A and B are shown apart, each in its own frame.
Chain A
Amino acid sequence: MAAVELRFSPLDEHVRTARLIAAAVGRRSRVAGVLIDEVKLAVGEACARAVALHRRAAPGELVLVRLIGDEQTFTIEVRDYGPTGEDLPPTQDGTRLSAIQLLADDELLAGGQPVGLGLAIIEGLVDRVAFAPATDGPGTVVTMSWPLPVDGIDLDNDDLDAVDLGTGNLSAVELGAIEKAIEEAVDDPAPAGSAPADTGPGNAGPGEPRGSGGDGELVRARHDDFA
């Protein structure tokens, strides 16, 4: 099993960073090329939801994304530290909202987020998805997984050529895209009031490592190979 872990400040621009990293790691984990768009969309929706929750209830906490590949499955966990499951309906099947409800939502005119629409997209896209309360504090873990092609069977994965599976390295193109995205996100001035000034170690969440203070905003990725 191999895993990549990403933590990021709850800023909209970092959602794209998470998408790019998820796509790169997905390819690296042999997710079929035709599914990479779904991976990007699903992880983007889960991260956007987490960012919105954090901004409201936990602005100093970092959103946690874990990308895990094993022999059969590629799994993404998005863990937020917001109010646990308050935007989740009691059942986890069926449509979360209808287009009619969406049209009736005046929040959209005020620039609000279409609550529930992102979850509807995740459920529509991903066959294996679970929403569960975090076990180590407040928040929710959204777990999504995709099957990997069996050895010797190529599920029309044209993108595999771009990844050096032999050494486990990301291609230069992918690394370049990720680095550029992180650079762009970090270089952009943070919106007023969004810089977490309280990211010092004294304010660390329960049992969770935190970023160093004073950076204003933060993206950290860690690559662990357990193999």
Chain B
Amino acid sequence: MDLSLTTRSEGDHTIVAVGGEIDVYTAPKLREQLIDLVSAGQYHLIVNMESVEFLDSTGLGVLVGGLKRVRAHDGSLRLVCTQERILKIFRITGLTKVFPIHSSEEEALAATD
């Protein structure tokens, strides 16, 4: 299972739907995608992780790197995730305090905090 990435725009937000395994081998693809979006002036990102089957620390590092990039432009990076096994990794590492995590794309799009 490789990593799949699809992006689409919703207003001034860009939704990145990620599927498959985000690990030390595949995470660079996600990093490039996030860098490309920020370079193209997309500063409000929503990463939908509902189809992610595996996430490791490298993947977390890429998401934190993406968050730092968009913040540099007063942007935002929100996550959509309801999978307990993925959420657990964010809790263990304390990153639930860093990322806004939503249960649906609609909720993420509507969020203003």
Residue ranges of A at the interface with B (Cβ–Cβ < 8 Å): 12-13, 15-16, 19, 37, 40-41, 44-45, 48, 51, 95, 98-99, 102-103, 105, 108-109, 111-114, 117-118, 120-121, 124-125
The 9 closest A-B pairs by CB, nearest first: A124-B92, A114-B61, A117-B57, A108-B65, A12-B25, A118-B57, A99-B94, A48-B24, A12-B24
Known contacts A108-B61, A108-B68; A124/B25 CB under 8 A = no
Which A residues are in CB contact (< 8 Å) with B94?
Answer: 95, 98-99
Known contacts A40-B54, A99-B94, A103-B68; A15/B61 CB under 8 A = no
User: From residue A145, how far is it (CB to closest CB) to chain B in Å?
Assistant: 18
Bound complex: CA A13 to CA B23 (Å): 9
A-B contact count (CB 8 A): 85
A117 touches B61 (CB 8 A): yes
The answer, among B56, B67, B98, for a CB contact under 8 Å with A41, is B56
B68 touches A16 (CB 8 A): no
User: From residue A87, how far is it (CB to closest CB) to chain B in Å?
Assistant: 13
User: From residue A109, how far is it (CB to closest CB) to chain B in Å?
Assistant: 5
Bound complex: CA A120 to CA B56 (Å): 11
Beyond A114-B57, A114-B61, 19 additional contacts (C-beta under 8 Å) are A12-B23, A19-B23, A19-B54, A40-B54, A45-B56, A48-B58, A95-B94, A102-B64, A103-B64, A108-B61, A108-B64, A108-B65, A111-B31, A111-B65, A113-B24, A114-B64, A117-B61, A121-B92, A124-B92
Q: Is B87 an interface residue (CB 8 A)?
A: no
User: From residue B90, how far is it (CB to closest CB) to chain A in Å?
Assistant: 10
Known contacts A45-B56, A48-B57, A99-B93; A13/B25 CB under 8 A = yes
A-B contacts, 14 of them at CB < 8 A, read: A15-B24, A40-B54, A41-B54, A44-B23, A99-B93, A102-B95, A102-B98, A103-B98, A108-B61, A109-B65, A113-B57, A117-B61, A118-B58, A121-B89
Interface string of B4-23 (1 = CB under 8 A from A): 00000000000000000101
Which B residues are in CB contact (< 8 Å) with A108?
Answer: 61-62, 64-65, 68
Which B residues are in CB contact (< 8 Å) with A103?
Answer: 64, 67-68, 98
**Which residues of B from 1 to 48 have beta carbons under 8 Å from A?**
21, 23-25, 28, 31
Residue in chain A with minimal CB distance to B98: A99
A51 touches B56 (CB 8 A): no
Which A residues are in CB contact (< 8 Å) with B56?
Answer: 41, 44-45, 48, 118, 121
Which B residues are in CB contact (< 8 Å) with A19?
Answer: 23, 54
User: From residue B65, how far is it (CB to closest CB) to chain A in Å?
Assistant: 4
The answer, among A15, A41, A111, A118, for a CB contact under 8 Å with B28, is A111
Q: Is B60 an interface residue (CB 8 A)?
A: yes
User: From residue A56, how far is it (CB to closest CB) to chain B in Å?
Assistant: 14
A125 touches B95 (CB 8 A): no
**Which residues of B from 64 to 107 have beta carbons under 8 Å from A?**
64-65, 67-69, 85, 89, 92-95, 97-98
Bound complex: CA A167 to CA B23 (Å): 33
User: From residue A189, how far is it (CB to closest CB) to chain B in Å?
Assistant: 14
Which B residues are in CB contact (< 8 Å) with A112?
Answer: 61
